[in-house]
Amino acid sequence: MALVLFFDGDCAFCSKSVRYIYQLDAKGAVEFAPLQGVLAAELDLRKHAEKGGGSMVILRQSDGVMFTKSDAIIELGKALGGVWAALARAFSLFPSLARHRVYDLIAKNRHMLAGKGNQCAIPDKDFMARMRN
């Protein structure tokens, strides 16, 4: 696996996004881990799940570099390839301050957009193989 995508496991918007990314990732380039999990705690990433934090974090395993906010979206697009990589390249042309502000606006309202996650769809075996704790 090339990337680990850390996400807020208590956020329905984030969980739905992870399932969508899983479906798009035909190459299996991305693993997933909740920011409330053991691996996130070991890497001191839990702060990104705090109320108002709302940032996904991408860890590129090949070199240990971490990406947050809109930079994580760009790195994710590159990993997915195809049209997503092209969109990531286009998105990267915008100034990072503007990209991060849009990301922060969505992150701030993520619970309102999809509600607080208290029910979980039963994951399939392949999805669980790419889920880390």
Per-residue pLDDT tens over the stretch 3-58 = 999 888 877 788 888 989 999 998 899 999 988 889 888 888 877 766 655 667 88
DSSP assigned state of 121: P
Average pLDDT estimate for 110-117: 64
Residue 116: pLDDT over 90? no
**CA–CA gap between residue 76 and residue 70 (Å, rounded):** 10
pLDDT top residue among 2 and 50: 2
Burial 76-114 (b: 16+ CB within 10 A, else e): bbbbbeeebeeebeeebeeeeeebbeebbeebeebbeee
Confidence category of residue 118, pLDDT binned at 50, 70, 90: low
pTM for this model (two decimals): 0.80
- Which pLDDT value is given to residue 49? 66
For residue 38, how far is the Cα from the chain centroid? 17
Per-residue pLDDT tens over the stretch 59-95 = 888 888 889 889 999 999 999 999 999 999 999 999 9
**CA–CA gap between residue 125 and residue 120 (Å, rounded):** 15
DSSP assigned state of 9: T
